[in-house]
Every structure is written in C-alpha cells, then in structure tokens.
Chains A and B, each alone.
Chain A
Amino acid sequence: MSYPLRDDIYSNDVPQEPIRAGFGRGLVKAGEEDESVVALCADLTESTQMHLFKEKFPERFVEVGIAEQNLVTVASGMAHAGKIPFTSSYAAFSPGRNWEQIRTTATLNEQPVKIVGSHAGVSVGPDGATHQMLEDIALMRVLPNMVVIAPGDSVEAEKATRALAQNGQPSYLRLAREKTPIFSTEDAPFEIGKAYVLREGSDVSLFGTGTMTYQLLIAAKYLEQRGINAEVVHVPTIKPLDTETLLVSARKTGRVVTAEEAQAAGGFGSAVSEFLSEVLPMPIKRIGINDRFGESGAPAELLEYFRLTGDAIADDVLAFTENMPRYHQE
C-alpha cells in the first residue's frame, strides 16, 4: 500500500497553500465534530486562521489579547472545566514566550491544551529573525506528555488538527505562514505517531518534517538523475516518533539525512539521532538552520540562502553519501 501522493508534485503547476489554512479549516471541522472544542487567540486571529472558527462558532471563541502567558493558562483552566482548547499565536510568542506556563499548567498538569504555533521557520520572510521561530520543536519535544506535530502541507494540517482535538493530550501543532506545495491527497493517511514512506529507495533515507518534506521529494528527483536512489519518509509527528518505520528505512539504506525548517540542534534531526544512536548507530546528516538566527528577506530567497531547497539539499546529500560509509549489519 503506497502513500497516495498527488501526481503533479513535480509539475510547476502543483497547487500551493499556506499550511495554516489547513489548520483553519480543520479547526472548524473539529468544532463541528465535538462541541467541547473551543478556540483562544492572542490578537492574531486572522493570521493564524482562527477567524474561520470564530465566524462559525462565535460563542466558543475567546479573545485573550496580546498575552501569551494568559493564553495557555486560561486554556488550562478551560480544559479542567471539560473543554478542548486550541490556542494560537505566532510560534515565536507561543510557545516562545510562555514555555514555563505550558510546562506546568499543560504538560505536568496533564491538561489537553493545544498549542498552535503559526509562522514557524525562516519562510516567514520579511518580518525577520524575531518572528522566524526556529527553536519551537526543541522546546516542545523535551516536555513529558507533549505531542509534537509539524504537518507537511495544508491538506495534512487539516487532518492533524482534527486528530489533535481527539487525542486527549497536551499537543503542539507547528504551522507555516507562506504558501507551500501540496503533495498529499485527501485520501492520504494521517495518524498521530505515524511516519509515511513517500518514495522508496535503497541508497539513503531522507527523513523530513513540516515544509521540508516537499523539498526532500524534489531532492530525491535530482539525486535520481545523479544515480542515487533516495527513500523519502515524511515524519509529521516528531513526538512520539514512529521509530518502527524509521528503523526499517534506516536499516535498508544504511545512511540517514534529516531535514527541518528549524534549528538543527535539539529539533527533529536530534530526535532521530537520539533514537538511532541507541539502536543502530550510523552516519546521520541533519539539515536545518545551524546555530544562527534568520533575517529579513523574501521567503524563497531565504530558503535558498539557508540551503533548504530541493536542489541544495540534493547537493548536500550527495556530498554526504560520497564521504560517509554506509552502515552494514554485522
């Protein structure tokens, strides 16, 4: 059973949409499916696409104002009163500013508060480094009880939002501002905790999360032209990691590259490295932002500068495969 990718992903006409748009639609559906779902926002209702929910369910929408600490703690109280609260802001502010409140009142307190961080990654663009959140994956995944999801496109974001409404756990949903290509289809599976093999290969495993999965599909195409048969695995759930799927792929190819639009330290690549180093130590290359902040620029320009585009990734993967021995069992 192969993953149903769109058949036009390599065409210039592949449809594009911001991942946050899928969240906006998914939240309305989650609200229709369960009347306990409520939404709280910190003065960024349209930016985070919560306005769709607000229009549909005005009585279940709470404007908290520019107060991210209050945003999650009020949500924690609402969760205790039996609601399923989704909170949204820019990722730089939530979970950027209110990490301790999330730690104590959501995760240690085991309340199913949903933290939705929009505008993550350098592709935020002109707003610059202050607003380009790169450390959120690291911040969220170290918290016990926390689920961490970075959907690959808007279609998947919609499914992820509906699933998070029903998982009963504190959860972080990472969204992006800019339009990105849609690679999945309505029929594509999404389950919290599952990774999906999008393209089978034998020479190297490319594990991607969020916006980087599409770039890995492009990279795999370039690599094919250069004689490298890359396997692409989409990992929307960073925590809990689908170790089974990742291990099967890593064992098959013997070399792993991870990609995320976030700090390479502490994030998704680190999670994969931590896991594989204990069960199947092998060369791993982590692609991401390397210990620096972003800066202003056009989104495409920044992705190119930080070598987060398919062609640049292909070059880096090629260099890695040329220099690194493949893991062999025994």
Chain B
Amino acid sequence: MLEEAGSGHSAGPLGLADIFAALYFDIMEIRPEEPDWDERDVFFLSNGHVVPVQYAAMAEAGYFDKTELSTLRKFGSRLQGHPERIKLPGIEATSGPLGSGLSQASGYAYTLKYLDKNPQRFVYVVMGDGELNEGNIWEAAMFAGKYKLGQLIAFVDRNNIQIDGATEDIMPLEDLRGKWESFGWHVLEIDGHNIESIIDAASQARAVTHRPTVVISHTIPGKGVDFMEYNYKWHGMPPNAEQAKEALEDLRTLGGKITHEGAGV
C-alpha cells in the first residue's frame, strides 16, 4: 500500500498490526456491513498517520473490498492520507493533527455514561507515544479521570520513536505509568505483539467500570521487517519498490523462519 502510495508512514502501522488485528477481529463489537450500527463499540484513531494499518484491518474485516487498499493517498480515494469520517464509513472521526482523539473518545464515553446511560458499549482509542507530547492529551486525561469514564479504553503505542528520534530524547515521557495513574486511570502494560495479552488487557479494562483504562503497549516500530525495526527514520517514510519486496518477504517468511515455498510466496 505504502510503496504504491509513494508517501506515508511505515514503522507505526507495522508495530500496531497486532493491536488492530485484536481490536477488529476479537475485542470490538462491530458490524462491518453496518458501520453505523447503534450498538457498536466505537473506535477513535488519535494518531491518524498510522491509518494504513486501520484501513488494512477494515478491509480484512469486510468494511470495503481489499482491492481499494491500493488507492491509498491517491486522488479520488476514500482512503485519504489521514482518515476522514465523511469519506469512509467506519471511520468514526477525522484525525491527523495529534492530540485530539482521546478528547473525542472521552466526549463519546461521557455521553454513553451520563446521558444515554448505556453501559453496554465501549469506546476504544489508539494513540501514539510521541503524540503524548501534546497538551490536549493531558486535558483529556484529566477530564476522563474526573468523570470516571470506565467505558473508555485507550491503547498507547509505546514504540519509543517519533519523527525526530527517540521519544526519551525528544521529550521524555517516563514515568509514563505513574503519569496516567496520577490522572486517575487504571493502567496496564503489555507486550503489544502478543495477541493474547492484548485481548486479555481489553477484557480486564472492560471489567474496570469506575475508571478509564490505558493499555501501555510495548511495540517494535517496523515490526517484522528487519531493516525497519527500531529505526526512527522509517517513521514517516514509505518503502521503494525494492524495499517493499524485501519487507513483504520478511513478513511472509517471519524473518526467514518459513521457507518461500511454505509461505506460498
């Protein structure tokens, strides 16, 4: 997708693939054929630049045909470079400028809890760790903590990189767990590549009804592609044709552990 688009972000989406797979195929109550279903769980992507992984998960889940994935970032496509609600059914909010998704999710969760008095539905958010530099995030953290929005479940993609380098060099986030706890949140920390841990974290979070939950998910940026893993330079860059081929080979062979014949490449 990204090689075809010729621009976009590589590392973040790869690192989030497991979380999106867990969200779309296990955790969330959704109806891809009926994106506006009244009883659905709602998903807000706060760091809109990782949207290719969401588009991929949505296509796999049946929101739209997989052939449309190759239109990413192209003129006339519903798959905008950053997600737009009005363009693509199933996208719950337009995002890209960082820091606002948690607030929107909080507004939704507030409505469910206090106005609709509907405890059945949950609101999920994915945020980047670099995104936590934004003040708007902490305004939302205070708000959700104050109002004890138990239906709000946020995943922080703790991959330790942002565009200019390592998060702890650019603007240190630690003690990250302590920060969220002090804002009144229930905090879980998991390996963001272990599907079972992701699903367990979500079910534990749903059981915590009196506090919002943040799941600090430790991930490897560029996961599965040898030359991208842990390298911040891949944050905002797409692969060229050759690199894309190599990356797909890496992913399809689990880094050489599976032979080409076996992987069907």
Contact = CB atoms under 8 A, between A and B. Distances in A.
Interface of A: 38, 59-60, 62, 64-65, 67, 69-70, 73-83, 85, 100-101, 104-105, 108-110
Contact of A105 (B100, B111, B114): B100
- What are the 8 closest A-B residue pairs judged by CB atoms, nearest first? A77-B107, A73-B103, A70-B139, A77-B104, A74-B107, A81-B111, A67-B139, A109-B94
A110 B87 CA distance: 11
Contacts of B111: 77-78, 81-83
A64 B97 contact: no
B47 interface: no
Contact of B104 (A65, A73, A100): A73
A109 B97 contact: no
A182 to B, nearest CB: 35
Choose among A75, A78, A85 the residue with the greatest number of B CB atoms under 10 Å from its CB.
A78
Contacts of A108: 84, 86, 94
B151 to A, nearest CB: 11
A38 B104 CA distance: 15
A109 B85 contact: yes
A105 B93 contact: yes
Contact of A75 (B107, B116, B146): B107
21 contacts: A60-B115, A64-B143, A69-B135, A70-B136, A73-B107, A74-B103, A75-B107, A76-B93, A77-B110, A78-B107, A80-B104, A80-B108, A81-B115, A81-B116, A83-B111, A85-B107, A101-B103, A104-B94, A108-B84, A108-B94, A109-B85
Contacts of B140: 70, 73-74
Contacts of B135: 69
B200 to A, nearest CB: 27
Contacts of A78: 107-108, 110-111, 115
A73 B100 contact: yes
Contacts of B139: 65, 67, 69-70
A74 B93 contact: no
Nearest to B86: A110
Contact of A69 (B92, B96, B103, B112): B103
Interface string B106-147: 111111101110000000000000000001100110110010
Contacts, number: 103
Contacts of A60: 115
Choose among A60, A74, A100 the residue with the greatest number of B CB atoms under 10 Å from its CB.
A74
A64 B107 CA distance: 10
Contacts of B107: 73-81, 85
A173 to B, nearest CB: 20
A61 B53 CA distance: 37
Given A82-B111, A101-B136, 16 more contacts: A59-B115, A65-B146, A67-B139, A69-B135, A73-B103, A76-B107, A77-B105, A77-B110, A78-B115, A80-B92, A81-B107, A104-B96, A104-B97, A105-B94, A105-B103, A109-B84
A172 to B, nearest CB: 18
Contacts of B108: 77-78, 80-81
A47 B13 CA distance: 45
Contacts of B104: 73-74, 76-77, 80, 105
Contacts of B96: 104
Given A70-B103, A70-B136, A109-B93, A62 B142 contact: no
A33 B198 CA distance: 45
A308 to B, nearest CB: 36
B115 A38 contact: yes
Contacts of A59: 114-115
Nearest to B102: A73
A104 B84 CA distance: 10
A154 to B, nearest CB: 29
A108 B109 CA distance: 22
A100 B94 CA distance: 12
B99 interface: yes
